[in-house]
Structure 1
Amino acid sequence: MKYRSVFDIIGPVMIGPSSSHTAGAARIGLVARQLFRTEPKKAIFRLYGSFAKTYQGHGTDVALVGGVLGFDTYDERLKEAFKFAEEKGLAYEFIEDDAVSAHPNTVRITLSDDEKSMELVGISIGGGKVEIKELNTFELRLSGNHPAIIVVHDDKYGAIAKVATLLANNEVNIGHMEVSRKDLGKEALMVIEVDQNVTEELLQEIATLPHINQVTKIHE
């Protein structure tokens, strides 16, 4: 695994007792909120492995709710996330699942409002670092620790190249990129981790490209 600085090795600035169970959980919740793009009304957290066994004692439950509310790992409001959830009208539920998962610190988050729902699977890999392994049944590998662009598009010739060219023309360097599709010619997904935050104007420009259906930004 590559680290950008000594602070990535020491661990994050955080509220809570555990970088894996608290900071990592908050980061997964925050990524889920950024991908959902609007204020969710309900959050279901299905917990696996160590998360399922120790989520209350290690503050994983509070951290997940706080992340979904938009609180980062160092935000003092994390400690009172349940209170803020009640104030904002966010309903939440924790489900302990005894199924064997690929990683002991795994959570499946389902967010919904009156119009849409979204599901993702995230794992906390230690030191506050996370990976998003699945988004709406798309398999992917997203760290959540770097700025990223998520592009839902039609699986058509040239769609990926046009996005990459537009980023290059705007001097945005791609650090990691993955593409996946559900079926030939159907809906597809680009996950592009970049070296710097991108502007809303650039996101809007990407959204106007042919065959692009949705563009979302995740920032640090």
Structure 2
Amino acid sequence: MKYNSVFDIIGPVMIGPSSSHTAGAARIGKAARNLLGSEPSWAKIHLYESFAKTYKGHGTDFALAGGLLGFETDDTRLSKALELAKERGLTIEFVEDTSAVSHPNTARLTIGNEEGQVELVGISIGGGKVEITELNGFELRLSGNHPAILVTHNDRFGAIASITSILAKHKINIGHMEVNRKDLGKEALMVIEIDQNVEQAVLQELTNAQKIIKVSTIVS
């Protein structure tokens, strides 16, 4: 196995006890919060296999709650996140789901507030690293370890070009990009991993582009 740095071996700076069950879970929760665009008021979290069996003992429950509250993996408040969630009016339901999944550390989060809701599937792949494999019914493969822009758009000619041209104008480099659609001519999802976080003005310009329905971000 090839490691890019020592941090791939020892994992991130984090509140324990487990990089996979705690740090990874916190990052999945925070990714969901970022994609919603604000703090949720409710969350329903399905946990599978290893997550479902050990989530209380390994801190997966409070880590997911902490991520939903916007906490980083090394935030000392993480272990108290369930209590803090109640204080902030965030209701969380955990479901031990027996459905078959492709990875033992899998969680499906459906979260929302009065502005809308988001549903995603995240897996913790070890060392605090995660992947988002589904968003609002779209299959994708998104690392939660790099800044990303997610663009829901009409599946029409020119939509992709309108987004990439704006990023090029602002000299924002694309590290990885994929496009998925549910059906021909319906809604589609652009997933763009980039090298740096983007300013709000750029996000607004992307939102105003032709054929664009919604723009969400994951920040590093």
TM-score normalised to structure 1 length? 0.96
Q: Quote the offset at 1:145 in angstroms.
A: 0.3
Distance 1:67 1:3 in 2: 26
2:19 paired residue number? 19
Aligned length: 220
Where do residues 115-130 of structure 1 align in structure 2 (5 Å cutoff)? Answer: 115-130=115-130
1:154 paired residue number? 154
- Cα deviation, 1:40-59, whole Å, max 9, x if unaligned, reads 11111100010000000100
Distance 1:54 1:195 in 2: 35
Given residue 182 of structure 1, which amino acid in structure 2 is its aligned partner? K
Where do residues 164-183 of structure 1 align in structure 2 (5 Å cutoff)? Answer: 164-183=164-183
- CA separation of 1:122/1:2 partners in 2, compared to 1, >3 Å: closer, same or farther? farther
Asked if 1:82 is matched to 2:82, the reply is yes
1:186 paired residue number? 186
Distance 1:2 1:192 in 2: 25
2:109 paired residue number? 109
Q: Quote the offset at 1:86 in angstroms.
A: 1.1
Distance 1:19 1:39 in 2: 24
Given residue 28 of structure 2, which amino acid in structure 1 is its aligned partner? I
2:202 paired residue number? 202
Distance 1:91 1:106 in 2: 21
Q: Quote the offset at 1:115 in angstroms.
A: 4.4
Distance 1:167 1:2 in 2: 32
Q: Quote the offset at 1:2 in angstroms.
A: 7.9
Distance 1:180 1:63 in 2: 30
- Cα deviation, 1:130-168, whole Å, max 9, x if unaligned, reads 000001100011111000001111011011112112111
Q: Percent identity?
A: 65
- CA separation of 1:64/1:213 partners in 2, compared to 1, >3 Å: closer, same or farther? same
- CA separation of 1:176/1:104 partners in 2, compared to 1, >3 Å: closer, same or farther? same
Distance 1:37 1:2 in 2: 35
Q: Matched residue of 1:14: which SS?
A: coil
Q: Quote the offset at 1:17 in angstroms.
A: 0.8
Distance 2:92 2:73 in 1: 19
Distance 1:206 1:5 in 2: 34
Q: Matched residue of 1:167: which SS?
A: helix
Distance 2:219 2:201 in 1: 15
Given residue 216 of structure 2, which amino acid in structure 1 is its aligned partner? T
2:132 paired residue number? 132
Distance 1:159 1:114 in 2: 29
CA-based RMSD of the aligned residues comes to: 1.4
Gaps in structure 2 of 5+ consecutive residues: none
The 10-residue stretch of structure 1 (163-172 or 50-59) with the greater mean CA deviation from structure 2? 163-172
2:31 paired residue number? 31
Given residue 52 of structure 1, which amino acid in structure 2 is its aligned partner? A
Q: Quote the offset at 1:29 in angstroms.
A: 0.2
